[in-house]
Amino acid sequence: MTGQILEISDLSTGYDENDILHEISLLVREKSFIGIIGPNGSGKSTFMQVLARSLPVREGDIMLLGDSLQSYSFRDFGMKVGYVPQESEIKFKYPVYDVVMMGRNPHIERFRSPSEEDHEAVRRALTQTGTLELADRPITALSGGERQRVMIARVLAQDPVLLLLDEPFAHIDIHHQYELIRIIRETSKDKRAVIGVFHDINLAAAYCDDLVLMHDGRIRACGKPEEVLTTELIHEVFRIRPVININPITGTPFVYVEEEWKEPDVHKPSIHLISGGGTGSYLISLLSRSGYSLSCGVLAENDSDCLMARKNKVPTLAEPPFSRLSLEMEEKLSEQVQKADVVIVTSMPVGWGNYPNIRVLEQIDPKKIICILPSSEPFLPDFTSGVATETIKRLLSAGAHKISNPAELLEMMQSKIFSKDTMQ
């Protein structure tokens, strides 16, 4: 089979009696860049150690270029596979140049000195990783990020067919991170393959061809980033409530993490949010995360607030874009605002199309309305020749609350005025 670099079938192994990895099967073709993601303790690093032969295979097979991993002499193995460990343990003052030259070791005969070709490979790797000016410095004097770049230079100088990287970008600053990952990605295009463990899911999603999601020592999912990074899988494996969006630059999935998620709490007042044009996105995320039972609308179907509400599974009234609110929808809205304990209005753009959203507020008790508006006029981008602004002013003078910062909202919600007991 051409183009196949690594074939792992039914691999199980561990450090002591208990297996840490269970029945792992994976096919790695040339020119592929595979990212391994998964929570701590899912077996990512152990997996890398087996591939680097630091840990023996207990069950199953690992075939490297058609031959069993065990059948390789270490010298031949070193010519085919390079490994960058999570943290380099070097505590002696080797000059950077010598450390990178160690990568050439499999290519140098025991009784020979490094050839001109070896020196050339080292210089090229130093240049690629931007560490050429560090060549004479002792490795112990470098920062964590510089050290990591040197370790990547070493693996590039080694020139292997399969590169194993165990969280290689952990300490590297963002500028070098992208530069190095691009170099490694280019390297993988040249009849090679790269397998990297990534802590940063989004970095992995942006640059890897395929992702392997590990969980409890097993491969939970494997495939293109958009196939692996689904809300269900991420929630199951990482125990977080993710919001998955599209990275606007790379077009790949982008995972946002909700730090704390509370299920809707019946003891908290229910809220209806009237917003639009992105003015409510943050509130939707904040309020649903904080355990308020929330509803939204009426929103245009393609409005970013609407997309955010859908992502957070918030019940939302929506109409096709740029259309007037139908009477039917207006009735639903009216019902909704009557029912809600609190109605929040943001500083959204108002035109004749969505003006009914504001007009409907005159039907309810103004005391349960909170307007999040700029501290002075204009309160909102008004495309109704001032009609909407007039309505807002009437509401405020009738006793609607006004705050100018969303941060004050939670405070206000927790205050006496809106606690559920006093309202009933």
Partner 1 sequence: MNTIRNSLILIGLFCAVIIAILLSVITGPVEISLIEILTGIMQDTTHSQILFEIRLPRAIAASLVGAGLACAGAAMQTLFRNDLADPYTLGTSAGGAVGVSLAIITGAVLLAPIAAFCGAIGSAFLVYLLAAQKRRLSTGNLLLTGIAVSMFFSSVVSVCLVFSGKNMHQIMFWLMGGLWNASWADIPLLLITLIPAGILALFSRDLNIMSCGEAETRTLGIDPEKTKLLLLAVSAGITGLVVSVSGSIGFIGLVSPHIMRIITGPDHRVLIPASLGCGALLLVCADTISRTWLGDLPVGIVTAFFGAPFFLMLIRRRSDL
| Residue ranges that bind partner 1, judged by CB under 8 A | 15-16, 49, 52-54, 73-75, 77-79, 81-85, 88-90, 92-95, 98-99, 102-103, 105-106, 108, 110-111, 138, 158, 160, 164
In whole angstroms, how close is the CB of 188 to partner 1 at the nearest point?
Answer: 17
CB of 92 to partner 1, least distance (A): 4
**125 in Cβ contact with 103 (< 8 Å):** yes
DSSP codes, 105-168: GGGS-TTS---HHHHHHHHHHHHHTT-GGGTTSBGGGS-HHHHHHHHHHHHHHH--SEEEEEST
**Residue among 77 and 178 whose Cβ is closer to partner 1:** 77
Two tokens, residue 321: 């874009």
Q: Which of 32, 5, 3 is nearest to 189 (CA)?
A: 32
22: left (phi over 0), alpha (psi -120 to 50) or beta: beta
Task: Report the side by side order of strands in the sheet with 401-403.
Answer: 316-319, 294-300, 271-274, 342-346, 369-372, 401-403
Query: What's the closest the beta carbon of residue 197 comes to partner 1, in angstroms?
Result: 13
Closer to partner 1 by CB, 135 or 208: give it.
135
CB-nearer residue toward partner 1: 24 or 69: 69
Output 58 or 420, the one with its CB closest to partner 1: 58
Q: How far is the CB of 117 from partner 1 (least distance, A)?
A: 16
Minimum gap (Å) between residue 108 Cβ and partner 1: 7
Instruction: Pick the closer one to partner 1 by CB: 23 or 98.
Output: 98
Closer CB to partner 1, residue 32 or residue 49? 49
Q: Which is nearer to partner 1, 81 or 306 (CB)?
A: 81
Residue 229 C-beta: closest distance to partner 1, Å: 29
Q: Give whole-number Cα distances, 160 to 15, 31, 76, 177, 194, in Å.
A: 27, 13, 10, 21, 10
**In terms of Cα–Cα distance, which of 279, 278, 304, 283 is closest to 294?**
283
Residue placing its CB nearer to partner 1 in the complex, 35 or 160:
160
By C-alpha distance, which of 211, 247, 298 is closest to 26? 211
Q: Which pair of structure tokens corresponds to residue 280?
A: 């409510």
C-alpha separations of 55 from 42, 52, 90, 198 in Å: 16, 8, 21, 20
Residue 346 burial class via C-beta count within 10 angstroms: exposed 0-12, middle 13-18, buried 19 and up: buried
- Residue 129 near residue 183 (C-beta atoms within 8 A): yes
Beta carbon nearer to partner 1, 45 or 270: 45
User: Which of 237, 198, 217 lies closest to 229, judged by CA?
Assistant: 237
Is residue 341 a contact partner of residue 373, using CB atoms and an 8 Å limit? no
Minimum gap (Å) between residue 283 Cβ and partner 1: 48
Shortest distance in whole angstroms from residue 421 CB to partner 1: 58
In this complex, which beta carbon is closest to partner 1, that of residue 54 or of residue 405?
A: 54
Query: What's the min distance (Å) between Cβ of 210 and partner 1?
Result: 22
CA separation for the pair 261, 166 (Å, rounded): 31
CB 213 within 8 A of CB 43: no
Residue 242's nearest CA partner among 189, 306, 186, 312 is 312
Shortest reach from residue 54's CB to partner 1, in Å = 6
- Asked if 353 and 324 touch (Cβ cutoff 8 Å), the reply is yes
CB of 133 to partner 1, least distance (A): 17
Locus of tokens 């609407």: 306
Of 164 and 283, the one with the shorter C-beta distance to partner 1 is: 164
Whose CA is closest to 342, among 363, 311, 359, 365?
365
